[in-house]
Structure 1
Amino acid sequence: MTADHRPAPAIGQTVRDTHHNRLGIVTDHLGPYLRLRPLTGGREWDADPEDTEPLSPPEALRARVAEVNARSRKPRPSG
């Protein structure tokens, strides 16, 4: 449990890491920390559960749609 008595987020849950100001998906619980992966994939990072807030389903959906839209705007390599 975290300081405000919330259970730690479950694996697969989308959270906001308030310390790093990033969104991530919980991939593991390592000792006292959470392992988070960026929504678009990439390098994972550790976060203190006390510095995370779960996103509601609508917030998580908006964040994922925004990531997909941002990727679609990037130029594609020709070839």
Structure 2
Amino acid sequence: MLVSMAGNQQTRPAIGELAKDTATGRIGVVMGGVGGRVQIGSVGGGMEWDAQPGNVVAPGAREELSARLAIRNGNSRDAL
């Protein structure tokens, strides 16, 4: 589900969805928001980072596929 940004036609991913931080080019999962920033968790695990809401967008189709493959590959390694 994409969340509408107030006063703007753009949308940004909701909690639990993949997102791209356009300021850094990184892709992650939206974890929440604190202090006017969006918290994004790394796809492969590790540290979350804060992003400005205006820099958080849905990833492109290729970016999303790549991130989903990385998640799946990580899950399959954990099962070994």
What interval of TM-score do these two structures reach, taking the shorter chain for normalisation? 0.5 to 0.7
Identity of aligned residues (%): 35
- Post-superposition Cα deviations, 1:26-76, rounded to whole Å, max 9, x if no partner, equal 001113110000101100000011112113677423322146558x8xxxx
Q: Which residue of 2 aligns with 1:51?
A: 55
Q: Which has the higher strand share?
A: 2
Unaligned runs of 5+ in 1: 73-79
Greater shift, 61-70 or 4-13, is seen at 61-70
Structure 2: gaps (5+ residues): none
Aligned match of 1:37: 41
Q: TM-score scaled to structure 1, two decimals?
A: 0.68
- Number of matched residues? 73
